[in-house]
């Protein structure tokens, strides 16, 4: 993947998780929603890599299913605030 695609994938994943906070989502649900936001191909491994980087930054975390190994991803409070405070692409001018 190109660096720009990795960046867009991280942003999309964080936005998906922040939009459904505090409800955790399994990887397949995150992927389904991210697919609607990006126009390039990515693998589950690419998405996990993006989520792990966001986890390292403290913006997302996961919970493991008690009876299995499924990871349920969720945005942290810091992740939600990051998305909410993100500047719009074309901020209004105040002349």
**Residue 91 counted as domain residue:** no
Domain range for residue 38? 3-85
**Residue 69 counted as domain residue:** yes
**Residue 7 counted as domain residue:** yes
pLDDT at 65: 82
**Residue 90 counted as domain residue:** no
Residue 87 has pLDDT above 60, yes or no: no
pLDDT at 86: 84
**In Å, how far from its chain's centre is CA 81?**
13
**Residue 18 counted as domain residue:** yes
pLDDT at 66: 83
- pTM comes to 0.87
Dump pLDDT digits (tens) for 25-68: 999 999 999 999 999 999 999 999 999 999 999 999 999 988 88
Nearest to 48 by CA among 27, 79, 76: 27
Which residues 6+ apart lie within 8 Å of 14 measured at CB?
A: 54, 59, 60, 75, 79, 82, 83
CATH value at residue 41? 1.10.10.10
**Residue 94 counted as domain residue:** no
For the chain, the domain total comes to 1
């Amino acid at each position: 993947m190109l660096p720009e695609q990795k960046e867009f994938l991280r942003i999309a994943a964080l936005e998906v998780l922040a939009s459904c906070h505090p409800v955790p989502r399994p990887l397949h649900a995150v992927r389904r929603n991210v697919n609607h936001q990006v126009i390039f191909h990515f693998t589950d491994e690419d998405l996990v890599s993006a989520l792990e980087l966001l986890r390292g930054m403290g913006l997302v975390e996961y919970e493991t299913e008690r009876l299995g190994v499924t990871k349920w991803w969720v945005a942290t409070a810091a992740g939600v605030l990051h998305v909410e405070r993100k500047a719009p692409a074309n901020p209004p001018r105040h002349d």
